[in-house]
Structure 1
Amino acid sequence: MQSHFTVIEVDVVMQANRHGATRKGVSSKIKGRCDALDMPTPTVRRLLVGHLLRHVREETGLDLDDAGKLIGKTNSTMSRVERGHTALPQHVLQKLLAAYEESAPGVIDRDEILDLARGSQDRGRWSGYRSVYSKYFRMAVDLEADASAIFQYQNEIVPGLLQSEEYIRALFTTAQLQLSDQSTEDALEARLERQAVLTKRNAPHVSFVLSESSIRRVIGSRELMANQLRHLASIARLRNVQVQILPFDAATAPRATHDFNLFRVPSPGNAGPLEFVYVEDFTDGRYLDRHDDVHAYTLLWQQLVAAALDPVESEKFIARAADEFAR
């Protein structure tokens, strides 16, 4: 697995170069961004509909074949619907919900599911400066926007949500990409919009475990790194943010060889949260939602948290590193 620096952080810029100019500057982008993020994204609406449908089907005791027969759909189609890969037309969904309700009265909240489904096929979110995101990364951005909890492990660079503007620009330079001024601004705007999730209304709880190398690796200059680490420390003081450093000499460093994100999205009713793990290689990203996969990464996360410095010691560690860069 390659680091996010190789794929996510740089690929945004490569996409920006292909799409060209779409916006003017970044000076006024923050206004209104936090409020916009309070609206559920179409992708997550579709995932939640599938998650709820699977829960209700399992409560009724039906398998995918049985459920498909209720509305004239195949096992494969029903599987795609429950995984959020496709959506049923509203009238077909209503028919399915009515059939489920007959089998298990009181288990289903039809209005909740139908309301989620109405916005699940909206388009246009990825136009303008947002078009810089690779298609495989867009679902991660949506999950990030709608999650109630985010857990991220990062190996080699400071995560995108914690980067300062000058650090972001230096990353673009380090990648040695020839970009127009507008392409750079589009990529920067997209990154800054993601960061607004940390301070929006009903902001998620966001926890980071960062390898020591991610704050030691010089991006741009030593002065820039000192400023970046001070920026990191200020974000770590937010009530909903926790940052821990995994030092080089950690006594029990787990076998975490690649970056990963664990997203937890609240679900209506008693279906339990929607959970996804996002991992990637050099050219693609994978979304894992099988219980066994999520459980394995949850255990790995717990091991990383246990091996890392606690938040208070991590804050001191970051401050010392910033002072060293400033000398």
Structure 2
Amino acid sequence: MLRQLRVSADRTRKDAAEWLEIGEPTLSKIELGRQAIKGPHVRLLCQLYDVDAGTLDNLLRLAKEAGQRGWWTAYRDTVPDWFRYFVGLEGDAADLWNYESEFVPGLLQTSAYVEAIGRGARPDISDADVARSVELRRERQSRIDGETPPRLHFYLNEAVLRRRVGSADVMREQLEHLYASSELEHITLRVVPFSAGAHPAMSGSFVLMRFPDEDSPAFAYLENERGAIYQEDPGDIARYSLMVEQLGGMALDAEESRAMLKRLSEQ
């Protein structure tokens, strides 16, 4: 809401940061919900944005309630805090660009594929934990499948499609689901083939996320087994944006990618 009010007031992040006497990165974290904001700062921003008293009261109430749990915290025993936070941002995005080198992206995984990943990574995982992981994937998917879903741009390493996860039936179902998903209006799925050779994303998977009323992505998200990094420096965002552009020049187009999915699902 603060981000929307700033844009409506024709104010830049720099304007707001200078008004609060804080750095732009801090303001960015506040607008992304990654850092709490105190009541006095809410009042100051509302003064800058010329906000009416009713909206101010609502924002002050929300600021007090900001520490309450979101829907994803119900999965705190299943996934770590750093990932639950990412899931919270995911549903607010306008555009999401995702390059994956190893896995089918979580938003496109079938239940059987989720289970196969879990059991492959942790042979001792309990049935209850597997069920919770599947439930979380379904919840994530439902939250980006509404009337106005974000635009999802997926680039998949060919290895993602060729590595058999689970049984042949599990993988066939997953490939068929990718094919069906690629036909949805808000989803673009393109394969980076082995024949493309060396490419700029060989260092690993990443996600770029842009929010409504913003001209450029807010951050690049990089994940590892121990946590995640949000790269918000303009130089880093420009670098990953260029990587997406370069992948677009090397990947199969949407029709060619669908043809590969169909061919592999039939093998």
| Deviation at residue 122 of structure 1 after TM alignment | 4.5
- What TM-score do you get using the length of structure 1 for normalisation? 0.69
1:132-156 Cα offsets, whole Å, 9 max, x none, are: 2211122321221100111100001
> Is 1:151 aligned to 2:92, yes or no?
no
User: Identity, % of aligned pairs?
Assistant: 28
Out of 162, 166, 189, the residue aligned to residue 216 of structure 1 is: 162
- The question of whether the paired residues in 2 share the 8 Å contact of 1:251 and 1:307 is answered with no
Q: Which residue of 2 aligns with 1:90?
A: 39
Q: Which residues of structure 2 form unaligned runs of 5+?
A: none
- What TM-score do you get using the length of structure 2 for normalisation? 0.84
Q: Which residue of 1 aligns with 2:14?
A: 58
Aligned residues: 258
Deviates more, 1:253-262 or 1:233-242: 253-262
- The question of whether the paired residues in 1 share the 8 Å contact of 2:208 and 2:217 is answered with no
- Aligned residue runs from structure 1 range 26-45, under 5 A: none
AA in 2 matched with 1:129: Y
> Is 1:258 aligned to 2:204, yes or no?
yes
Whole-Å separation in 2 of the counterparts to 1:289 and 1:51: 19
AA in 1 matched with 2:240: Y
1:252-272 Cα offsets, whole Å, 9 max, x none, are: 6334320000111113xxx64
Q: Which residue of 1 aligns with 2:225?
A: 282
Whole-Å separation in 2 of the counterparts to 1:166 and 1:262: 27
Q: Which residues of structure 1 form unaligned runs of 5+?
A: 1-44, 69-74, 101-107
AA in 2 matched with 1:287: Y
The structure with the larger Rg is: 1
1:49-83 Cα offsets, whole Å, 9 max, x none, are: 89869x556348xx74x743xxxxxx57x864553
AA in 2 matched with 1:199: D
Q: Which residue of 2 aligns with 1:242?
A: 188
* Change beyond 3 A, Cα 1:117–1:248: farther
Q: Which residue of 2 aligns with 1:135?
A: 81
* Change beyond 3 A, Cα 1:314–1:118: farther
- The question of whether the paired residues in 2 share the 8 Å contact of 1:129 and 1:189 is answered with no
Name the SS of the counterpart of 2:252 in structure 1. Answer: coil
Whole-Å separation in 2 of the counterparts to 1:319 and 1:146: 32
- Aligned residue runs from structure 1 range 1-327, under 5 A: 48=3, 55-56=11-12, 58-59=14-15, 64=18, 67-68=20-21, 75=22, 80-84=26-30, 85-98=34-47, 100=48, 108=49, 110=51, 114=56, 118-119=61-62, 121-125=66-70, 126-129=72-75, 131-250=77-196, 253-267=199-213, 272=215, 275-324=218-267
Whole-Å separation in 1 of the counterparts to 2:50 and 2:164: 53
- The question of whether the paired residues in 1 share the 8 Å contact of 2:91 and 2:144 is answered with no
Runs of 4+ in 1 over 4 A off after TM superposition: 49-53, 111-118, 271-274
| Deviation at residue 88 of structure 1 after TM alignment | 3.2
Whole-Å separation in 2 of the counterparts to 1:51 and 1:229: 43
Higher relative contact order (CA 8 A, sep 6+): 1
Whole-Å separation in 1 of the counterparts to 2:5 and 2:36: 8
Name the SS of the counterpart of 1:266 in structure 2. Answer: coil
